[in-house]
Amino acid sequence: MKIPNGLQPLIDDGVIDAVLRPLKSGKEASVYVVRSGSQTLCAKVYKNMAHRSFQARVQYQEGRKFRGSRQSRAIAKATKFGRREQEAEWKNAEVDALYRLAAAGVRVPQPRGFFHGVLLMELIVDEHGDNAPRLGEVELAPERALAFHVELMRDVVRMLCLGLIHGDLSEYNVLVTPAGPIIIDLPQVVSAAGNNAARAMLLRDVHNIRDCLARGAPQLSATHFGEEMWALYEQGQLQPGSVLTGQFMFDEHAADVQSVMMSIEDARQEAIIRQQGRAEAEAA
């Protein structure tokens, strides 16, 4: 096949020997099957920002650390340089996450390197050597659906223990192999401690998987693993081997709005006093 522009530098440098076929193309990237020596791998070529929503990524990148204050300011102001930096960070986030998750035992494609903005990784196949199907494309018997749920919740917990949340986990981002489910597509990975929407994204991820697997094992519909693991995470008690039950006691007490408003007003008054103090000190 004709070599895509994004893969030509890898051919020129001898990183890969041939492009065999396209695997999939989405809004974020195009993925190709390539040959590197005796290995058959995936090559993920990220699309430039003209093809993707710049604003849609802001919610995911909140809380991520950038290289320096100059980069952070440029990104906040959405300058041309800032957009280039944010583009590079978007790509690097998936690469870094894959290496960290693979080292922690999370079932993800094994990364094989990052060259010229292209991510090389393990090709995930089924028992016949064909492209592995997505979770939403297969019918699972109840026992297998339950087993997949155990494995995926284990991996979500291991991710959370590293301070990471997938952010877009669903039946379309899990591949089915004879050895079990494998999580893919991580450029939007979320900082659990630094992102204000982290809890909501974790619950969405967990509920997406629960609802998908409940088609094979309906008893999963009544579980609340996401709420349980987040509560343990907030308390500093979540461990990679934590045993979860899926049971969660929701707080049904009415919110004390008046107390919250009083706390906000107290904080506002303290800020005013501090500001006045600084002004008086500067005047003196």
Residue with token string 């991710």: 159
For position 67, what pLDDT does the model report? Answer: 52
| Structure tokens given for 161 | 């223990």
pLDDT in tens, 102-143: 999 999 999 999 999 999 999 999 999 999 999 999 999 999
Q: What is the rounded average pLDDT for all residues in the chain?
A: 87
| Structure tokens given for 86 | 């944010």
Please name the residues in contact with 18: beta carbons below 8 A apart, sequence gap of 6 or more. Answer: 11, 34, 35
Report the 10 Å Cβ neighbour count for 74: 19
pLDDT in tens, 153-189: 999 999 999 999 999 999 999 999 999 999 999 988 9
Find the mean pLDDT for residues 210-231. 97
Q: For residue 18, what is the enclosing H or E element?
A: strand 18-25
Does 84 fall in a domain?
yes
Whole-angstrom distance, CA of residue 253 vs CA of residue 232: 20
Whole-angstrom distance, CA of residue 19 vs CA of residue 75: 35
pLDDT in tens, 1-48: 889 999 999 999 999 999 999 999 987 889 999 999 999 999 999 987
For position 105, what pLDDT does the model report? Answer: 96
Does 260 fall in a domain?
no
User: Does residue 66 register a pLDDT over 90?
Assistant: no
Does 213 fall in a domain?
yes
Bridging pattern class, strands 111-115 and 118-122: antiparallel
Q: Greatest CA separation found in the chain?
A: 80
Whole-angstrom distance, CA of residue 238 vs CA of residue 70: 35
Note down the domain range covering 185: 5-234
Does 282 fall in a domain?
no
Does 128 fall in a domain?
yes
| Residue closest to 41 by CA, chosen among 7, 9, 92, 91 | 7
For position 89, what pLDDT does the model report? Answer: 73
Does 262 fall in a domain?
no
Whole-angstrom distance, CA of residue 149 vs CA of residue 246: 11
Residue with token string 């087993």: 147
User: Does residue 75 register a pLDDT over 50?
Assistant: no
Does 185 fall in a domain?
yes
| Residue closest to 224 by CA, chosen among 198, 193, 250 | 250
pLDDT in tens, 254-280: 666 777 788 888 888 888 888 887 777
Higher pLDDT, 78 or 284: 284
| Residue closest to 52 by CA, chosen among 29, 27, 31 | 27
Higher pLDDT, 272 or 241: 241
Whole-angstrom distance, CA of residue 100 vs CA of residue 191: 13
Percentage of residues in the chain having pLDDT higher than 90: 66
pLDDT band at 201 (very low <50, low <70, confident <90, very high): very high
Does 254 fall in a domain?
no
| Structure tokens given for 185 | 């597509």
For position 116, what pLDDT does the model report? Answer: 92
Compute the 3-state secondary structure of the chain and give helix, strand, coil in percent, each to the nearest 5. Answer: 45, 15, 35
For position 74, what pLDDT does the model report? Answer: 47
The residues that bridge with 176 in the sheet, in sequence order, are: 181
| H-state helical runs in 22-141 | 58-61, 69-77, 80-103
Percentage of residues in the chain having pLDDT higher than 70: 83
Backbone φ and ψ of 226, nearest 5°: -65, -45
User: Does residue 51 register a pLDDT over 60?
Assistant: no
Whole-angstrom distance, CA of residue 210 vs CA of residue 135: 12
User: Does residue 60 register a pLDDT over 60?
Assistant: no
Number of domains in the chain: 1
Find the mean pLDDT for residues 194-206. 95
Q: What is the CATH number of the domain that holds 77?
A: 1.10.510.10
